[in-house]
């Protein structure tokens, strides 16, 4: 005879809801992202190359990270050419300051745990290759302007996000990664 499932009490449901609300308040995901007025045209643009311009701490990196997460998870309000197996690249000035302290935490802030492999950042992010791979086989690789330009070559990407203005040779090399798929870039 099969096991009978234990009924869930109202108190158990309330406790689970309280825990989920607290988790969401502390760690929102892309579902809770509300762009500022000036960020909306950036996210709604269908241009292949886009700039988001603003002062220090005005939300440029937030918008860039949210754009990347929406594309990687297939939850973008406008871009819907690819809903899985999206191949992205995020590039910052350097690894210690730009990637580790700014870009990675911003991606982690918006990526829903349900999009991560087994719901786990640790199982999804490989520090050695600096690559975040999602449950839907989309991935985001993290690179920096202090790498040799040849490190940016050879592979096709659906998008490239430059967190700051790149050196010209790195910009040009990354544009080559977008040609065969008609990929997009933003900075």
> Each residue of 13-62: pLDDT tens digit?
776 666 655 555 445 688 889 999 999 999 999 999 999 998 888 889 99
Residue 103's closest CA among 139, 153, 55, 144? 144
In whole angstroms, give the CA distance from residue 21 to residue 42. Answer: 29
97: how many CB neighbours lie within 10 A of its CB?
12
Handedness of CA 178, 123, 94, 104 (dihedral sign): positive
**Are the beta carbons of 133 and 73 closer than 8 angstroms?**
no
In whole angstroms, give the CA distance from residue 139 to residue 164. Answer: 21
The whole-number average pLDDT for the span 127-153 is 97
Token pair of 64, please? Answer: 């860039």
Angle at 154 between CA 152 and CA 155, to 5 degrees: 90
Rg (CA), the chain: 19
Q: What is the pTM of this model?
A: 0.84
Most confident region among 7-16, 24-33, 156-165 by mean pLDDT: 156-165
Please give the pLDDT value at position 153.
94
């Amino acid at each position: 005879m099969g096991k009978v499932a234990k009924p869930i009490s109202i108190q158990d449901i309330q406790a689970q809801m309280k825990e989920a609300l607290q988790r969401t308040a502390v760690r929102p995901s892309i579902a809770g992202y509300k762009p500022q007025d000036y960020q909306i045209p950036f996210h709604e643009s269908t241009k292949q190359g886009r700039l988001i311009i603003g002062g220090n701490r005005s939300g440029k990196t937030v918008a860039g990270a949210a754009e990347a997460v929406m594309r990687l998870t297939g939850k973008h309000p406008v871009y819907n050419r690819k809903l899985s197996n999206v191949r992205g690249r995020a590039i910052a000035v350097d690894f210690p300051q730009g990637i580790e302290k700014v870009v990675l935490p911003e991606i982690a802030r918006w990526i829903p745990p349900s999009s991560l492999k087994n719901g786990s950042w640790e199982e999804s992010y490989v520090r050695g290759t600096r690559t975040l791979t999602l449950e839907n086989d989309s991935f985001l690789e993290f690179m920096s302007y202090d790498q040799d330009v040849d490190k940016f070559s050879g592979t096709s990407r659906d998008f490239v996000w430059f967190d700051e203005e790149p050196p010209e040779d790195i910009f040009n090399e990354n544009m080559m990664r977008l040609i065969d798929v008609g990929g997009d870039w933003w900075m």
